[in-house]
Chains A and B, each alone.
Chain A
Amino acid sequence: MTGSKQSPPKFSAERHGSRIAAIALAAAIASWTDRARTEEQLPPYTVVGDAIPQSLTGAKGNVERGRSIVVNRQVGLCLLCHSGPFPEEKFQGTLAPDLKGTGARWSEGQLRLRLVDASQLNPNTIMPPYYRIDGLTRVAPAFQAKPVLSAEQIEDVVAYLATLREE
Chain B
Amino acid sequence: MTRPAAVLFVIAVLGAAAAAADIPLAERKSGYEFMARETRAMQDDDSANPATLWVLDAETLWQRKEGSAGKSCADCHGDARTNMRGVAARYPAFNEARGRPIDLEQRVNICRTEQQRATPLAFESKELLALTAYVGQQSRGMPIDIANDAHIRPFLEAGRVMFTERQGQLNLSCAQCHDDNWGQKLAGAAIPQGHPTGYPLYRLEWQTLGSLQRRLRNCLFGMRAVSYPYGASELVDLELYLMWRARGMPVETPAVRP
A binding-site residues for B, Cβ under 8 Å: 1, 4, 7-14, 17, 21-22, 24-25, 28-29, 31-32, 73, 77, 79-81, 90-95, 119, 123-124, 126, 128-129, 136-143, 146, 148
Contacts and interface: CB of A to CB of B under 8 A. Distances in A.
Nearest to A90: B188
A128 B164 CA distance: 16
B17 interface: yes
7 contacts: A14-B16, A29-B9, A129-B171, A138-B168, A139-B168, A140-B226, A140-B227
B180 interface: yes
B186 A10 contact: no
Given A21-B8, A25-B12, A139-B226, A12 B169 contact: no
A27 to B, nearest CB: 9
B162 to A, nearest CB: 9
Q: Is the interface of A mostly helix, strand, loop or mixed?
A: loop
Contact of A128 (B5, B170, B185): B170
Interface of B: 1-2, 4-5, 8-9, 11-13, 15-17, 19-21, 164-173, 175-176, 179-181, 184-189, 191, 220-221, 224-227
B45 to A, nearest CB: 28
A136 B168 CA distance: 7
Contacts of A22: 12
B186 A80 contact: yes
Contacts of A139: 167-169, 224-226
B224 A143 contact: yes
Nearest to B7: A28
A129 B5 CA distance: 22
